[in-house]
Amino acid sequence: MPANQPTTGRGVEKGPGRFGPSGPSAVARAYEHAKARLLDGSLGPGDWLTEGEVADALGISRTPVREAFLHLQAEGLLTLHPRRGAQVVGVDPATAAELLEVRHLLEHHAATCVARAGEAVRRAVVVALEEVLASQVEARRTGDRGRFVALDRELHRRVVAASGNRVLEGLYGTLRDRQQRLVLDGLRADPSRAERILEEHRALLEALAEGDPAAYDRALRRHLAGSLRALRGAALDPDLAASDR
């Protein structure tokens, strides 16, 4: 797969059973359609999504949409309200702090593994990451927020995958959707955060190229702290986040 194409990694599969004898089930189609809107920036915290809206878009009945919404509610992405629809759930700062703590532990360990793997391996990883970063710079230039955030997730996923530890990568994959929501919500509150994310990613790549786990850890801590500050800004000023949609 090309380095600049986001992937889902080996994370735990979520959602309804995806395929039947004749292709994707109606529930799976509704699930993927709604989830894509939740993760590409089309919908933000507090926005509403109705069964009828998704059913009409896909040409299916509301019954599989209702089941799909239940899956998304179980994943913490939607809250269902009878006779009103589904409301998008943001990542609250307390949950974000816990999420970022786990992410730091996993990614720092992965970066340490990469640093110990030898210069040739480390260089190959950095070259691949530089391609992802270049694509992210382009997404920033064109204003494609959904792709920018997907590439953010992909860059960090590749660092973890480079550790060679499939269990570690699987654990990291379970965080992916909430991480993407976290970054999206922070960018809504502070659009200038995108440029700082790129600068922080460059610092991470430099530390990795040098084979310096301590420098990577410092850069990663700064990066995650910036994400948390941006999200706290969104929580303190929800009108600002809403006005940016």
Could you tell me how far CA 14 lies from the centroid of its own chain?
Answer: 14
Domain that holds residue 130: 93-243
Give the pLDDT band of residue 13 (cuts 50, 70, 90). very low
Instruction: Flag whether pLDDT at 39 surpasses 50.
Output: yes
Per-residue model confidence as pLDDT tens digits over 186-211: 898 889 999 999 999 999 999 999 99
Q: Which two tokens stand for residue 132?
A: 């992802």
pTM of full prediction above 0.85: no
Instruction: Flag whether pLDDT at 243 surpasses 80.
Output: no
Per-residue model confidence as pLDDT tens digits over 128-141: 999 999 999 999 99
Instruction: Tell me, yes or no, whether 128 and 215 share the same domain.
Output: yes
How buried is 111 (Cβ within 10 angstroms: 0-12 exposed, 13-18 middle, 19+ buried)? buried
Q: H-helix or E-strand containing 173?
A: helix 166-173
Instruction: Flag whether pLDDT at 238 surpasses 90.
Output: no
Average pLDDT over residues 42-51: 90
Q: Which of 70, 88, 106 delimits the end of a domain? A: 88
Instruction: Tell me, yes or no, whether 221 and 238 share the same domain.
Output: yes
Instruction: Tell me, yes or no, whether 57 and 161 share the same domain.
Output: no
Average pLDDT over residues 152-172: 96
How buried is 185 (Cβ within 10 angstroms: 0-12 exposed, 13-18 middle, 19+ buried)? buried
Half-sphere exposure of 127 (CA within 13 A, CB side): 7
Instruction: Tell me, yes or no, whether 116 and 228 share the same domain.
Output: yes
Q: Furthest-apart CA pair in the chain: how many Å?
A: 59
Average pLDDT over residues 176-185: 88
Contact at 8 Å (CB) between 161 and 124?
no
Instruction: Tell me, yes or no, whether 27 and 113 share the same domain.
Output: no
- Tell me how far CA of residue 104 lies from CA of 97, 112, 126, in angstroms: 10, 12, 19
